[in-house]
Amino acid sequence: MLIRNKRSRIAPFIAIGAGLALALAGCTSPDDETPAATGGAEPGAQPTVAFVAAQMTATYFQVMQCGAQEAAEKYDVRLDWQGDANWDLQTQTPLINAAMQLKPAGLVLVPTDPAGLVGTVEDIATAGTPVITVDGSLDQQVELQNIRTDNVSAGALAADALAQSIGEKGTVMVIASFPGVAANAERVDGFTARMAEAYPDVTVLPTEYSEADQAKASQKASAALTDPDLKGIYTTLAPASAGAAAAIEGADKVGQVKLVAYDADPSQIEQLKSGVYEALVAQDPYGLGYDSVERIAKIVSGEASADDLEYQEFVNAFIITKDNVDSEEAQRYIYKPTC
């Protein structure tokens, strides 16, 4: 699988069906003169691509916004970027509704609830607005495409890194986000399956859930650190990673309890170099933002078609360690929130 970077983007070119093309062309009646394809603007104006993210305080999503904005500028669409500070269906839904009031040409969505957003997305897509989901996923395939990290493979890479750091024996814990979130569950499943297959002397404790809250993750990690048999921790999202790192530092167990974590914020990179983290599972938020907006823009312009667009696309993760952190390849995956 090819890996994206800021200078090289991969975009499948698609051929749109007649029904969707008509919807995107903004066919209107005499009583409705707001064309859907122009995001509520006058005919000939820039189309609007709505992008509703989540947990906007996270560097990960700030980097995703940079990628989305670059694609919008390149393909001459207006980006309407929205997102809440939390990972919460109740606060994200009003933002989706507000975005759709602009009559955008397309919607990119980071879904916070795989089940709770199915009906909302289905209604939007049925009405003729193409929807691409990124990072997370839905329980049903109601959107045009889903793009996310190959989390099963990434979880397996994390298992290799953690197992090798503890001498392939001992007890480890996993701190995830919420039960039932597919992408996060894949991060856990890939990790536990790899451990069971390749490292029989490593015991994986039942998964703990942080609800994407740093303080809760820190509390769970602190409780586990009282067990002298605990040798390692694996966290599947940035808030949990920060919480576990704080707990390890607070317990004065840096270097004794190994930490392998998702994401690669600048602060995590510094803590990797200082020994708090053993390895980081870096994703490509810039590529997710760029590619999703690019594809919507190409559909709007008629360059692309739903017929050739595969529903599921996975993006590879990259493991950053002390040994490769300063390499050119690793630099592409460090989350730099300034565009």
Give first-to-last CA distance, the chain, whole Å.
Answer: 26
pLDDT one-digit tens code per residue, 50-59 = 999 998 888 9
The pLDDT of residue 280 is: 98
The pLDDT of residue 13 is: 33
Q: Which of 7, 6, 32, 10 is nearest to 315 (CA)?
A: 10
Q: Which of 309, 272, 266, 270 is nearest to 291 (CA)?
A: 309
Higher pLDDT residue, 16 or 330? 330
The answer to whether residues 128 and 24 touch, using CB atoms and an 8 Å cutoff, is yes
The pLDDT of residue 16 is: 33
Strand partners, 151: none
pLDDT one-digit tens code per residue, 185-231 = 999 999 999 999 999 999 999 999 999 899 999 999 999 999 999 99
Q: What is the CA radius of gyration of the chain?
A: 21
Rounded to whole angstroms, how far apart are CA atoms 41 and 89?
Answer: 29
Higher pLDDT residue, 306 or 7? 306
Give yes or no for residue 25 having a pLDDT over 50.
no
For residue 103, give every residue at least 6 positions away whose Cβ sits within 8 Å of its Cβ, in sequence order, or none. 34, 35, 36, 38, 39, 40, 48
Tell me the mean pLDDT in the region 313-334. 94
Given pLDDT bands bounded at 50, 70 and 90, which one contains residue 45?
Answer: confident
For residue 234, give every residue at least 6 positions away whose Cβ sits within 8 Å of its Cβ, in sequence order, or none. 158, 159, 162, 172, 173, 174, 175, 191, 259, 260, 261
Strand partners, 202: 170
Lowest mean pLDDT among 96-110, 298-312, 316-330: 298-312
pLDDT one-digit tens code per residue, 115-134 = 999 999 999 999 999 999 99
Q: Percent of the chain scored above 90 by pLDDT?
A: 77
Give yes or no for residue 86 having a pLDDT over 60.
yes
Write down the H helix ranges in 116-265.
Answer: 118-126, 151-165, 182-198, 214-224, 238-250
- Average pLDDT over the chain reads 87
Give yes or no for residue 108 having a pLDDT over 70.
yes
Rounded to whole angstroms, how far apart are CA atoms 274 and 178?
Answer: 30
The pLDDT of residue 78 is: 97
Q: What is the dihedral of CA 16, 22, 25, 31, to 10 degrees?
A: -160
